[in-house]
Amino acid sequence: MIEKIISRLQLLNYEVKDNDIFALKFVLQKVESHVKNFCNINEIPVGLENVVIDSVCGEFLLQKKAAGQLTGAQIDGVVKKIKDGDTEVEFATGGDTGTAFDSYMNNLTSGHEECLLKYRRLCW
């Protein structure tokens, strides 16, 4: 799953370095533990792999930002507006990029409860 996480991070404008691997594995274990405990399961089902990948990426990037390890170019480029007719994409710029970045990362890390509920098992 680490390879998929690295590919997803590249799509999110972050190039993974060798010293990021430990942090990625740590965050992956944390997210997997949360999902397994919430759902009361022993294995991550295929249907939840993308949820786990997005959660890991979002949490990892938020930690990098909090540590001051993200450049402005990595935080910039968050989509602010998408128009469907004649395909227009507007990227957040200036002072609103940090807020847009945080909002997008929070979207990656949370809001998956309905997906998790599908796989939740009762515990006696």
Tens of pLDDT along 13-65?
Answer: 899 999 999 999 999 999 999 999 999 999 999 999 999 999 999 999 999 98
How far does Cα 106 stand from its chain's mean position? Answer: 8
In sequence order, the 6+-apart residues with CB closer than 8 A to the CB of 17 are: none
Q: Is 55 or 100 the better-scoring residue by pLDDT?
A: 55
Radius of gyration of the chain (CA): 16
Placement of tokens 């540590």 in the chain:
67
Beta-bridge mates of residue 89? 82
Q: For residue 40, what pLDDT is reported?
A: 95
Q: For residue 49, what pLDDT is reported?
A: 96
Angle between helices 21-39 and 49-66 (to 10 degrees): 130
**Percent of the chain's residues with pLDDT above 90:** 54
Q: Residue 123: which pLDDT band, with cuts at 50, 70 and 90?
A: confident
DSSP string of 30-75, one letter each residue? HHHHHHHHHHT-SS--GGGHHHHHHHHHHHHHHHHHHTT-S-HHHH
With a cut of 90, say whether residue 101 has pLDDT above it. no
